[in-house]
Chain A
Amino acid sequence: MDIARVISKRSSALWAPFLILILLASLPLCAPQYTIILLTTIFMYIVITVSWTMFSGPTGYISLAPAAFFGVGVYTSALLGLVLPLPAIIGIGGLASFCLALFVGALTLRLRGTYFVMFTFGLVELLLHFVLWWEVNITGTTGRVVPTVNNTKVFYFMLIIFVILMFALYTIRGSRFGLALEAIGQNEDAAAHTGVNVTMVKVITFAISAFFMGAAGALMATRWTYIDPKIAFNPLLSFMPVLMAIFGGMGQLYGPIIGAAIFAYLEEFLITRFPYYYMLIFGTIMVIAIVYMPEGLVGLIRRLLKSSTEGRHART
């Protein structure tokens, strides 16, 4: 980790994300409302996918718990209604997920491979059915109405969550904590014997990634207006970040972002154009994508870029 090199790399590459950010931030001024709504959804997927990648990318622990963390955020928001200001609700939602992740992480991160995968998936279903039972049998009701919030406001908050997430991600990647995380992914035993408190590093990263999922959930609840356990803890949402990250390519930081953005947009595009065939088309695209782009979109782009530069070399 040559620090000088890292810094120089950053300053010259910083303008691009900044430009995009300014562009996105100014979008509500000119773009139609629905574009804002769609972008909010897309950014929700990006936030979930990137925060998933934050933990699962370097460590190689495939977590299927996103739906649980997202759902905890959603439910926090639903429980609190709008008695508190929105930023506070987002913060509490994130914090609730953070705490859950700390607990679950401390309990389960000794599991490896498929066992961890299945445990995290079980968590989603357990929470779903437990909350359902709790509401029906203890509180005697189910489902909650969440007051709606201005769409533009939701968009800006989602953008802010995204920016904070990216900032957190960059900070972690550049730090010794990030180095330890990467080491854990490559060889956990060796990392432990090199003095890294592997459990702590894993659990904390797991919890940080859960924080962002929970925050996104708390925010999105205001868009859904009505919440019940089956809606909040939708198991499909656990698979989405995995699929999106693989689709985009996990080799690079921007892979999951592109993957999530295109995946989410494609789905919306197909569902509105071909309501009766969209699953067929979507499924076919997924199968073709995985066969022809084993390293995801990023891999494909790289290959294209490589062949084009090679072509240029050949010409000169």
Chain B
Amino acid sequence: MPVLEGKGLTKYFGGLVAVSNVDLHVDEGEIVGLIGPNGAGKTTLFNLISGALPLRSGTILFKGQKISGLKPYEICRRGVARTFQSIKVFPDMSALQNVLLGSYFGVSPGMSSMEALREAKEILEFMGLSASSATRARDLTLASQKRLEVARALATKPQLLLIDEMMAGLNPTEVAQAIELVSSIRKNGITIIMIEHVMKAIMNVCERIIVLHHGQKIAEGTPQEIVSSETVIKVYLGERARAAS
């Protein structure tokens, strides 16, 4: 049964098409990659799913229930969490406070302060951030800030996690760690959709890849299918990729 189902998703900005009639489905426990050149509509698609932007047309179902039209916080409380392409941690709050907010207001709001605190600490531990729990978020390294964003999203106890470019700007060692992290999150039973430019990461972790171009879905399939797809090579990867493959 699909966790997430989108039908005919469409969004315009002014007169420009950002996302055009995209269908997608994600099954429980999957890791789906979303790739495409800049401006292809990947982040817009995330914004539509998480409720940051209203749909022009189409519907989004989460676990069979319609979530399109809901406010971001309502969608979050139903179990869809996300991270952001440009980091959006709360810079002047400590790492712990960042995560605590998720525990307080996520899927199960109203838990006691003590319980929320315990949970937040657990998540920081899991993300390997315990040591910097009292550090202000703005003082963390880029990699840690990205982790913190994921930690905050996890604290809301999502069933579906949308990760937007977690690897960009990380060095290869950090990328490797991040890939590991994504896999372990999945092991905890959380479904993941990730936007990524780092091809290596996508190819390694994703079971299925969706390629967007000019707001349209131009391809969908396993990593192997994608790298060998004529269309994808023509509009996205270019000649070099062809030569290399």
Contact = CB atoms under 8 A, between A and B. Distances in A.
Q: Do A and B bind each other?
A: yes
B84 A179 contact: no
Nearest to B72: A192
A176 B113 contact: yes
B148 to A, nearest CB: 11
Contacts of B140: none
A176 B90 contact: no
Nearest to A175: B113
Nearest to B76: A195
Nearest to A58: B92
A179 B120 CA distance: 14
Nearest to A177: B104
Main secondary structure of the interface of B (DSSP, over half): helix
A3 B113 CA distance: 9
A191 B107 CA distance: 14
B71 A179 contact: no
Interface in B99-117: 100-102, 104-107, 109, 113-114, 116-117
Given A1-B97, A1-B100, A179-B97, A189 B84 contact: yes
Contacts of A179: 93, 97, 100-101, 104
A236 B209 CA distance: 59
A186 B100 contact: no
**Interface extent on B, as a size class?**
20 to 34
A193 interface: yes
B91 A196 contact: no
Contacts of A3: 113-114, 117
B68 interface: no
Nearest to A179: B101
B52 A195 contact: no
B11 to A, nearest CB: 17
Interface string A1-44: 10100000000000000000000000000000000000000000
Contacts of A189: 52, 72, 84, 88
A7 to B, nearest CB: 12
A196 B101 contact: yes
B52 A180 contact: no
A186 B91 CA distance: 7
Nearest to B99: A194
A56 to B, nearest CB: 16
A143 to B, nearest CB: 45
B104 A176 contact: yes
Contacts of A191: 90, 101
Contacts of A182: 90, 92-93
**Interface extent on A, as a size class?**
20 to 34
Contacts, number: 89
Contact of B109 (A1, A192, A195, A198): A195
Contacts of B77: 195
Contacts of B114: 3
A1 B93 CA distance: 10
A169 to B, nearest CB: 18
Interface in A167-204: 176, 179-180, 182-183, 186-187, 189-199
Most buried by B among A179, A180, A190, A195: A195
A118 to B, nearest CB: 24
Interface in A97-151: none
A194 B84 contact: no
A180 B89 contact: no
Contacts of A197: 71, 73, 105
B115 to A, nearest CB: 12
B159 interface: no
B82 interface: yes
Nearest to A199: B71
A193 B101 contact: no
Contact of A193 (B52, B92, B104): B52
Most buried by A among B73, B88, B96, B114: B73
Given A186-B91, A186-B92, A194 B97 contact: no
A3 B116 CA distance: 12
Contacts of B152: 190, 194
Interface of A: 1, 3, 176, 179-180, 182-183, 186-187, 189-199
7 contacts: A176-B113, A179-B97, A186-B92, A190-B84, A194-B101, A194-B153, A195-B77
Given A3-B114, A187-B91, A193-B81, 20 more contacts: A1-B97, A3-B113, A176-B101, A182-B90, A186-B93, A187-B88, A189-B52, A189-B72, A190-B152, A192-B52, A193-B50, A193-B72, A193-B76, A194-B73, A194-B101, A195-B104, A195-B107, A196-B101, A196-B105, A197-B73
